[in-house]
Amino acid sequence: MKILVCISHVPDTTSKINFINGDTEFDTNGVQYVINPNDEFGLTRAIWFKEQQGANVTVVNVGGADAEATLRKALAIGADEAIRVNANPTDGFFVAKQLAEVVKNGGYDLVIAGKESLDYNGGMVPGMLAALTGNDFVNSCIGLEINGTSAKAVREIDGGKETISANLPLVIGGQKGLVEEKDLRIPNMRGIMTARTKALTILEPVGAENTTKAVKFEKPAAKSAVKLVSPDNLDELINLLHNEAKVI
């Protein structure tokens, strides 16, 4: 079984976010980048298939040279090879188009992507990728078993879970729950050294237009100052909740 895991190169969730050029661009200065958390759950599940069923695991990213450190981390975790499409991932359709080309040329049985990246939160790429490749698609996936050419997936729905049977090839939009958080892999020294010798192929992008564009970014409004009310002064508390906060 050949598995392709789509990896987004995103800011660490603890990073301080700022914008530049009139709030039209993200300020990358001092920002640490990591594997997109939703993708990391998918990668860990793919490595499980490699260890238990002998699957071959390739990771792919659409991005610049700075993303190679993230791909090398994925290789250190256990992926067999990596592909980087040399393009700036500014638009969901553009990214999906590049990934679809990789899928079509690679003959993959299973494609695992995160249901969304934690930078732009577009949530578009996995579904678009499935449509462009003509493969079945399961989003918000929190469980996956493969038996030959058949798959059983569990996805999160409002108020519960849904179990789906499908045939390979298949595209998965994974999230937390695809593996337990405690099962996420941390690269060890042997993995880091081995990753240096694994193939990292750089591909030039295929022609595709950006269909959307981020015009401006805006931070949430700063929290207002906290007012402390004495526990003995309930009248003042009620007055503030009614006339100022307007919650009662």
Q: What is the CATH number of the domain that holds 193?
A: 3.40.50.620
- For residue 173, being part of any structural domain is answered with yes
- For residue 236, being part of any structural domain is answered with no
- For residue 171, being part of any structural domain is answered with yes
User: What CA–CA distance (Å, rounded) separates 149 from 137?
Assistant: 15
- What's the chain's length in residues? 248
Q: List the domain range (segments joined by +) for residue 45.
A: 2-219
Number of domains in the chain: 1
Selection from 137, 128, 124 nearest residue 171 by Cα:
137
- For residue 237, being part of any structural domain is answered with no
User: What CA–CA distance (Å, rounded) separates 197 from 91?
Assistant: 32
- For residue 233, being part of any structural domain is answered with no
- Residue 117, judged by CB atoms within 10 A of its CB (0-12, 13-18, 19+), counts as buried
pTM of the model: 0.87
pLDDT, one tens digit for every residue, the chain (248 residues):
999 999 999 999 888 889 999 999 889 888 999 999 999 999 999 999 999 999 999 999 999 999 999 999 999 999 999 999 999 998 999 999 999 999 999 999 999 999 999 888 889 999 999 999 999 999 999 999 999 999 999 999 999 999 999 999 999 999 999 999 999 999 999 999 999 999 999 999 998 888 888 899 998 888 878 888 888 888 888 898 888 888 88
- For residue 148, being part of any structural domain is answered with yes
- For residue 227, being part of any structural domain is answered with no
- For residue 247, being part of any structural domain is answered with no
